[in-house]
Amino acid sequence: MTKTRSTDDFAEATAKATQAVAGQPPERKRGVGTTLGRIGKGVLLAIPLIVLVIWTIAPFLVTFSVSLKGRAEVFANPGLIPQNPSLDAYIEVLSSPSFTRSFLNSLIVGVGTTALTLILGVPAAYAFARFRFRGRHLLLLFTLLPRLVPSLGIMVPIYRLAVAAGALNSLLTLIIVYTGTLLPLAVWLMVGFFQQIPREIEEAAAVDGAGLWGRLRYIVAPLAAPAMITIGVLAFREAWNEFTLVLVLTSHPGSRTLPYELYLMQGIEGIANFPGEAAFTILTVLPFILVYTRVEKYIVAGLISGSGK
| Helical residues (DSSP H) of 68-170, grouped into ranges | 71-76, 88-94, 97-130, 136-144, 151-165
* Range with lowest mean pLDDT among 57-61, 174-178, 268-272, 273-277: 268-272
Query: Average pLDDT for residues 240-251, to the nearest whole number?
Result: 88
- 232 with 134, same domain: the answer is yes
Residue 82 lies in a domain: no
Neighbours of 143 (CB within 10 A): 19
Q: What's the pLDDT tens digit per position in 139-169? A: 777 777 777 777 778 888 899 999 998 888 8
Contacts of 280 (CB under 8 A, 6+ apart): 93, 99, 258, 261, 262, 265
| pLDDT computed for residue 179 by the predictor | 92
| pLDDT computed for residue 175 by the predictor | 94
- Give percent of the chain above pLDDT 70: 82
Number of structural domains the chain divides into? 2
Residue 69 lies in a domain: yes
**Residue 296: pLDDT band with limits 50, 70, 90:** low
- 220 with 291, same domain: the answer is yes
* DSSP secondary structure string for all residues of 193-223: HHHTS-HHHHHHHHHTT--HHHHIIIIIHHH
Contacts of 235 (CB under 8 A, 6+ apart): 113, 114, 117, 118, 178, 179, 182, 186
Q: Determine contact, residues 195/309, Cβ cutoff 8 Å.
A: yes
- 103 with 176, same domain: the answer is yes
- 101 with 68, same domain: the answer is no
pLDDT at residue 203 greater than cutoff 60: yes
pLDDT at residue 117 greater than cutoff 90: yes
Higher pLDDT among residues 301 and 275, named by residue:
275
| Residue 139 CB-density burial (10 A; 0-12 exposed, 13-18 middle, 19+ buried) | exposed
Domain final residue pick, 20, 53, 76 = 76
Helix (H) or strand (E) holding 180: helix 171-195
Which structural domain, as residue segments, surrounds residue 204?
88-308
Query: Average pLDDT for residues 114-121, to the nearest whole number?
Result: 92
Query: Average pLDDT for residues 12-39, to the nearest whole number?
Result: 54
Residue 190 lies in a domain: yes
**Residue 298: pLDDT band with limits 50, 70, 90:** low
Query: Average pLDDT for residues 219-240, to the nearest whole number?
Result: 85
Higher pLDDT among residues 64 and 151, named by residue:
64
- What's the distance, CA 83 to chain centroid? 35
Alpha-carbon dihedral angle through residues 219, 223, 226, 232, given to the nearest 10 degrees: -20
- 31 with 57, same domain: the answer is yes
Task: Determine the Cα–Cα distance for residues 125 and 178; give it in Å rounded to an integer.
Answer: 18
Residue closest to 68 by CA, chosen among 57, 81, 55: 81
Residue 261 lies in a domain: yes
Higher pLDDT among residues 30 and 150, named by residue:
150
- 171 with 277, same domain: the answer is yes
Residue 281 lies in a domain: yes
**Residue 4: pLDDT band with limits 50, 70, 90:** very low
- 147 with 289, same domain: the answer is yes
- 69 with 210, same domain: the answer is no
Burial code of 239-273, b = ≥16 C-beta within 10 A, e = fewer? Answer: bbebeebbbbbbeeeebbbbbbbbeebeeeeeeeb
Residue 300 lies in a domain: yes
- 71 with 96, same domain: the answer is no
Neighbours of 300 (CB within 10 A): 12
Q: Determine contact, residues 256/245, Cβ cutoff 8 Å.
A: no
pLDDT at residue 31 greater than cutoff 80: no
pLDDT at residue 307 greater than cutoff 50: no
- 110 with 168, same domain: the answer is yes
| pLDDT computed for residue 2 by the predictor | 43
CATH code at 301? Answer: 1.10.3720.10
Domain final residue pick, 76, 96, 126 = 76
Residue 81 lies in a domain: no
pLDDT at residue 25 greater than cutoff 80: no
Residue 134 lies in a domain: yes
- 296 with 183, same domain: the answer is yes
- 213 with 98, same domain: the answer is yes
Task: Determine the Cα–Cα distance for residues 213 and 64; give it in Å rounded to an integer.
Answer: 49
